[in-house]
Amino acid sequence: METALTTLILPAGEAAVREAARLLARGGLVAFPTETVYGLGADATNAAAIARLYQAKGRPAFNPLISHVGDLEAAGRIGRFNETAALLAQAFWPGPLTLVLPKAAGCAVVDLATAGLETIAIRVPAHPAASAILRAFGGPVVAPSANLSGHVSPTSAAHVRSDLEGLIDLIVDDGAVEVGVESTIVGCFEHPALLRPGGVPREAIERVLGQALVQLPKDAESDCGQPLAPGMLTSHYAPRTRVRLNASTVAPGEALLAFGHPAKGADRAACVMNLSARGDLNEAAANLFGYLRALDARQAAAIAVMPIPNEGLGEAINDRLRRAAAGREDLGRQ
């Protein structure tokens, strides 16, 4: 049995940053806010710390982690930038974009963090607390979303507590995050590929590159037979309650996750939460995971989700909703 730890919870600020850097240097696990979702950080060069991180999250070790660094210079020490990567870093860092690149020679990130791949995923987050922690620590920090593997990603320190209290050393609390969905992941391959839609809309990336991003099949492999998109497991962001997509009406006993004007039958729903009454996709992204958690707690017959336009952050929202519904989508009409 794992012995329960005392998880320290500190408000974001100088003391929290110092304590976070101290704990990371000792192989500790530190949850901290980023602009996308809360991350669970560990020293990317410390295999024992990363083994603890995989264990705390219950994450399959074949799913690699993102290395977070404070700036482009630090990123250049662990990844090899080609022209695509340089353009995107220049346009979107710091920010909700992760680049997948070949590992740099002498990259200090351990193989356990990259699941033995020859590539590495790198991100420079734009949140002041995250930047301060990365600066104070001074090395790369792996940080998956700070939830139990398979659960909905955390957009507040309270979400992190409910999943990981007693399993990690520190939670740095800075309230609700701004973006609400994880970073967009772009593979900077010969043909730049969208590996995960996220906080930077596809359209903005394509504008900077002057070309369309390719979509890799889930089982795409490199020349050496390694997976190129290892994170595309179908069921991932899973509430316990069944999720029904594209709902135009609500059945009695169902909870409704609305977007815009609520669907027919909303008045008899067990509970209604509106991602954005005014139909704003950025607002909807920021509310998505918190509302999914809240509706899941109502133990309704199902969570009926209204259609979301597939543009801007809508692509990331629909990706997360499809995964939330994977394997249990009810195709019957309601």
3-state SS string over the chain? Answer: CCCCCCCEEEECCHHHHHHHHHHHHCCCCEEECCCCCCEEEEECCCHHHHHHHHHHHCCCCCCCCEEECCCHHHHHCCECCCHHHHHHHHHHCCCCEEEEEEECCCCCCCHHHHCCCCEEEEECCCCHHHHHHHHHHCCCEECCECCCCCCCCCCCHHHHHHHHCCCCCEEEECCCCCCCCCCEEEECCCCCEEEECCCCCHHHHHHHHCCCCECCCCCCECCCCCECCCCCCCCCCCCCCCEECCCCECCCCCEEEECCCCCECHHHCCEEEECCCCCCHHHHHHHHHHHHHHHHCCCCCCEEECCCCCCCCHHHHHHHHHHHHCCCCCCCCC
Closest residue to Mg ion, based on beta-carbon distance: 145
Is the Cβ of residue 99 or residue 255 nearer to ligand TXA in the bound state?
Answer: 99
Is the Cβ of residue 200 or residue 300 nearer to Mg ion in the bound state?
Answer: 200
Minimum gap (Å) between residue 152 Cβ and ligand TXA: 11
Is the Cβ of residue 125 or residue 314 nearer to ligand TXA in the bound state?
Answer: 125
Minimum gap (Å) between residue 37 Cβ and ligand TXA: 5
Work out what residue 159 binds among ligand TXA, Mg ion, none; the CB cut-off runs from 5 to 8 Å by kind.
none
Minimum gap (Å) between residue 65 Cβ and ligand TXA: 5
Closest residue to ligand TXA, based on beta-carbon distance: 231
Minimum gap (Å) between residue 235 Cβ and Mg ion: 13
Is the Cβ of residue 145 or residue 274 nearer to ligand TXA in the bound state?
Answer: 145
Is the Cβ of residue 266 or residue 326 nearer to ligand TXA in the bound state?
Answer: 326
Count of Cβ atoms closer than 10 Å to residue 77 Cβ: 14
Q: Is 184 in the site for Mg ion (CB under 5 A)?
A: no
List contacts with ligand TXA (CB under 6 A).
34, 36-37, 39, 63-66, 98, 100, 114, 117, 119-121, 123, 125, 143-145, 182-183, 185, 195-196, 229-231
Count of residues that bind Mg ion according to CB under 5 A: 1
Among 145, 155, 184, 287, binds Mg ion (CB under 5 A): 145
Is the Cβ of residue 179 or residue 251 nearer to Mg ion in the bound state?
Answer: 179
CA 68: distance to chain centroid?
A: 13
Minimum gap (Å) between residue 316 Cβ and ligand TXA: 10
In angstroms, the CA 101 to CA 109 distance is: 13
Minimum gap (Å) between residue 27 Cβ and Mg ion: 22
Is the Cβ of residue 126 or residue 300 nearer to ligand TXA in the bound state?
Answer: 126
Q: Taking contact as CB under 5 A, which single stretch among the options 61-69, 87-95, 99-107, 144-152 is the one that binds Mg ion?
A: 144-152
Minimum gap (Å) between residue 323 Cβ and Mg ion: 10
Residues in contact with Mg ion by CB under 5 A are 145
